[in-house]
Amino acid sequence: DTIIEINNLSKTYNTANGPYTALKDVSLTIREGSIFGIIGLSGAGKSTLVRCLNGLEPITGGQLTVLGKDVPKLKPAELRELRKSIGMVFQQYNLMPSRTVENNVALPLRKSRLSREQKKARVKELLQLVGLESHARSYPSQLSGGQQQRVAIARALANHPRILLLDEATSALDPDTTKTILELVERLNRQLHLTIIVVTHQMDVVKQICTDVAVIDKGTIVEQGDSFDVFSDP
Residues that bind ligand ADP (CB under 6 A): 13, 15, 20, 22, 40, 42-48
Give whole-number Cα distances, 201 to 6, 168, 185, in Å: 21, 7, 18
Strands (E), the chain: 2-15, 18-31, 35-39, 61-66, 69-70, 86-90, 163-167, 195-200, 212-217, 220-226
Q: Closest separation between CB of residue 223 and ligand ADP, Å?
A: 16
Q: Closest separation between CB of residue 56 and ligand ADP, Å?
A: 9
Euclidean distance between CA atoms 85 and 79, whole angstroms: 10
As a residue count, the chain comes to 234
Count Cβ neighbours within 10 Å for each residue of 169-182 and write b for 16 or more, e otherwise: bbebbeeebbbebb
Q: Closest separation between CB of residue 190 and ligand ADP, Å?
A: 28
Instruction: For ligand ADP, give the closer residue by CB, 38 or 194.
Output: 38
Instruction: For ligand ADP, give the closer residue by CB, 91 or 180.
Output: 91
Q: Is residue 196 a contact partner of residue 188, using CB atoms and an 8 Å limit?
A: yes
Instruction: For ligand ADP, give the closer residue by CB, 47 or 65.
Output: 47
Determine whether 27 is exposed, middle or buried from the number of CB atoms within 10 Å of its CB (0-12, 13-18, 19+).
Answer: middle
Q: Closest separation between CB of residue 109 and ligand ADP, Å?
A: 27
Instruction: For ligand ADP, give the closer residue by CB, 168 or 212.
Output: 168
Q: Closest separation between CB of residue 46 and ligand ADP, Å?
A: 3
Instruction: For ligand ADP, give the closer residue by CB, 45 or 146.
Output: 45
